[in-house]
Amino acid sequence: MLEGLILDSGSNLPLYRQVSDGIARLIQAGTLQSGERLPATRELAASLNLNRTTISAAYALLEEQRLIRGHVGRGSFVALPQANVPGSRVDWENILPRLDISSSSPQSAAISFSTSSPAGDAFPMEQFRRLAKEVIDSPEAREILQLGSPLGYGPLRRYLLTKAREEKIAGPQDDLIVTNGCQQALDLLARVLASHGETVIVEDPVYHGLLRVFERAGAAVVPAPVRTDGVDPEELEALIAKHRPRAVVLTPSFQNPTGASIPGSNRGRILETVQRNGVVLIENDIYGELRYAGESAPPIKRLDESGNVILLRSYSKVSFPGLRVGWVIAPRPVIARLAELKQVSDLHSDQLSQAVLLRFAESGELSLHMERTRATGALRLDAALNACRRFLPPAATFTRPQGGMNLWVELPPPLNARDLLSRAQEHGVDFLPGNYFSVEGGHSRCLRLSFGGLSPDDIDRGIRSLGRAAARELELSRETTFDPAPALV
């Protein structure tokens, strides 16, 4: 049955992925023909000596990839040929692989806790206008409009690297590349480091766009639970010992979605663990400058002298998200490979925005803006925490971030975040439910509240509405009666 399907117990790829990849290869090679019936999950499981759920997961993935089609009661069949059908229109739905991305439609809620980004009404528009015009009038404008380097706009790159060396987050062996925000940095890193099924440990829950990047690149993603203090060094060590990953991706400060931070003492232990195991640590530090309370902890990159740590930063969260400028600081060979791939991907990042943000930083306006952002952020965080205390059901728990833009709520059973969302939306409030951030499909009682773009008043009113909606859901759950089911014998 399915000869040619060979599994390898020593591989880092999960078994269901090995099964689905193997079947995909048989389909592509023509060994399995279009229209052919696949073995029932039960049969294939028995013949491969695997659990039936492993086979089901593999079939589900193949179906998602449009390589097979399931028909209820009849089984699964190899889908229409991947090769195109002569004489017909292109069957786009059939040939395009589907990405598993939840639609993030624009929010029309009156109070939306859905977006982890700064409020537009706080943008320093007057400063932006003045400095952007300076750039446009400058003699450098002509160069800015000409083709640039995959590494980034020279003057910005020099500025960022000099500053990073002063901050001791770039050593003499390090270099820097400018990317289209942190998202592209993650995409390039995933494609360079983990595109052959390498294992990558990510936080769970985790920013959806980070998870998808590594999954899509072909990495085997392993979740590390985020505790009150972020990822626990001992748990991480055990996961590394078990899975021998290529890389670990952490957001040590004000993690998205939990808002949790790894304390300074644990940062050193985590660094020591990755160094001892020769693992790459990708440190996503895009919220690091948004601390409103408590003691600051250094980026792990600052502690690293062995060259294991790759640091990601961005102007998106601290200035203008619409100008796509982030950067990566890493050992030279890493930056060289990222630059090669960046050139293939989109030649280079837009230079006008790079030049405007450089002026914004050099003029000192960025620092002033960050101070203001931290002051308003502190008020917003306070408002959010107070409202959670006052309005959420007593049995709900929530994180207590000291910065950033997000906090994480866990509802008491039997509530679930998707149902609560439907009810909240009726009252003009929305948020992203926890399973959106889950590595393996959990966190259904959790939700992320992004408070960074809302006024304290809106935060208060919004969470009050949520609390009311949750209370109503709890009441309803108590009213529900069940017909007792007969015992199964």
Instruction: Show contacts with a copy of itself in window 398-417 (CB under 8 A).
Output: none
Sites for a copy of itself among residues 255-294 (CB under 8 A): 275-280
Q: What are phi and psi of 16, to 5 degrees?
A: -65, -35
Express the helix, strand and coil content of the chain in percent, nearest 5 each: 45, 15, 40
Residues 414-473 that bind a copy of itself (CB under 8 A): none
Size (the chain), residues: 489
Q: Is 314 in the site for a copy of itself (CB under 8 A)?
A: no
The single-letter DSSP state of residue 121 is: G
When computed from its CA atoms, the radius of gyration of the chain, rounded to whole angstroms, is: 25
Q: What are phi and psi of 439, to 5 degrees?
A: -75, -35
User: Which residue lies nearer to a copy of itself by CB, 116 or 416?
Assistant: 116
By the rule CB under 8 A, 481 interacts with a copy of itself? no
37, 53, 85, 379: residue in contact with a copy of itself (rule CB under 8 A) = 85
Residues in 212-241 that interact with a copy of itself by CB under 8 A: 212-213, 216
Span near a copy of itself by CB under 8 A; candidates 70-78, 126-134, 221-229, 430-438:
126-134
Is 78 in contact with 68 (CB distance < 8 Å)?
A: yes
Does 144 participate in binding a copy of itself (rule CB under 8 A)?
A: yes
- Using CB under 8 A as the binding rule, whether residue 333 contacts a copy of itself is answered as yes
Q: Which parts of 30-59 interact with a copy of itself (CB under 8 A)?
A: 30-31
Tokens of 105: 């439609």
Give the sign of the dihedral formed by CA 315, CA 260, CA 464, CA 107.
Answer: positive
Kindly state whether residue 205 participates in binding a copy of itself, applying the rule CB under 8 A. no
Question: Looking at 17, 291, 302, 348, which residue binds a copy of itself (CB under 8 A)?
Answer: 348
Q: Does position 92 bind a copy of itself by CB under 8 A?
A: yes
Q: Which residue's CB is nearer to a copy of itself, number 355 or number 420?
A: 355
Whole-number Å distance between alpha carbons of 235 and 319? 35
**Nearest 10 degrees: CA dihedral of 243, 303, 342, 355?**
150
Q: Does 84 bind a copy of itself (CB under 8 A)?
A: yes
Q: How far is the CB of 117 from a copy of itself (least distance, A)?
A: 5
Cα–Cα distance, 3 to 48 (Å, whole number): 11
- The answer to whether residues 437 and 296 touch, using CB atoms and an 8 Å cutoff, is no
Residue 308 touches a copy of itself, criterion: CB under 8 A: yes
Does residue 343 touch a copy of itself according to CB under 8 A? yes
Q: Does 114 bind a copy of itself (CB under 8 A)?
A: no
| Binding of a copy of itself by 20 (CB under 8 A) | no
Residue found by looking up tokens 């914004």 in the block: 360
DSSP state letter for 106: P
Q: What six digits make up the tokens of 58?
A: 């593999």
Query: Phi and psi of 68, rounded to 5°?
Result: -130, 165
Q: Which is nearer to a copy of itself, 116 or 399 (CB)?
A: 116
Task: Check if the beta carbon of residue 393 is closer than 8 Å to that of residue 309.
Answer: no
Taking the complex as a whole, the smallest distance from the CB of residue 459 to a copy of itself amounts, in Å, to: 19
The residue written with tokens 């939700």 in the block is 447
Give how far the C-alpha of residue 458 lies from the chain's centroid of Cα atoms, to the nearest Å: 26
Determine if 376 is a binding residue for a copy of itself (CB under 8 A): no
Question: Within a 13 Å sphere around the CA of 105, how many CA atoms are in the beta-carbon half?
Answer: 3
Q: How far is CA 220 from CA 62, 66, 457, in A?
A: 16, 21, 43
With CB under 8 A as the contact rule, which of the stretches 173-181, 283-291, 377-385, 393-401 interacts with a copy of itself? 173-181
Does 69 participate in binding a copy of itself (rule CB under 8 A)? no
Select 40 or 80, whichever has its Cβ closest to a copy of itself: 80
Nearer to a copy of itself, 214 or 398 (CB): 214
Q: Which of 72, 73, 108, 147 binds a copy of itself (CB under 8 A)?
A: 147
What DSSP character marks residue 317?
A: T
| Least Cβ distance, residue 121 to a copy of itself (angstroms) | 8
What's the min distance (Å) between Cβ of 10 and a copy of itself?
A: 4
How distant, in Å, are the alpha carbons of 40, 147, 162, 485 from that of 167? 59, 31, 9, 65
Retrieve residue 46's tokens.
Answer: 């028995």
Smallest distance from the beta carbon of 215 to a copy of itself, in angstroms?
9
Which token pair is 261?
């931070």
Q: Which is nearer to a copy of itself, 29 or 72 (CB)?
A: 29
- Count of residues in contact with a copy of itself, rule CB under 8 A: 101
17 sits near a copy of itself (criterion: CB under 8 A): no
Residue of 97, 394, 441, 486 that binds a copy of itself (CB under 8 A)? 97
- Exactly one of 114, 179, 253, 406 binds a copy of itself (CB under 8 A); that residue is 179
Q: Residue 482, interface with a copy of itself (CB under 8 A)?
A: no
Distance CA 296, CA 293 (A): 8
Choose, by CB under 8 A, the member of 123, 263, 425, 427 that binds a copy of itself: 123
> Could you tell me whether strands 230-231 and 406-410 are parallel, antiparallel, or unpaired per DSSP bridges?
unpaired
Pick from 52, 269, 337, 427 the residue near a copy of itself by CB under 8 A: 337
Strand-strand pairing, 326-331 and 174-179: antiparallel
Integer Cα distance of 134 and 138 in angstroms: 6
Whether the CB-CB separation of 358 and 155 falls below 8 Å is answered with: yes
Q: Which is nearer to a copy of itself, 350 or 382 (CB)?
A: 350
Residue 197 sits in the site that holds a copy of itself (CB under 8 A): yes
Nearest to a copy of itself of 84, 265 (CB atom) = 84
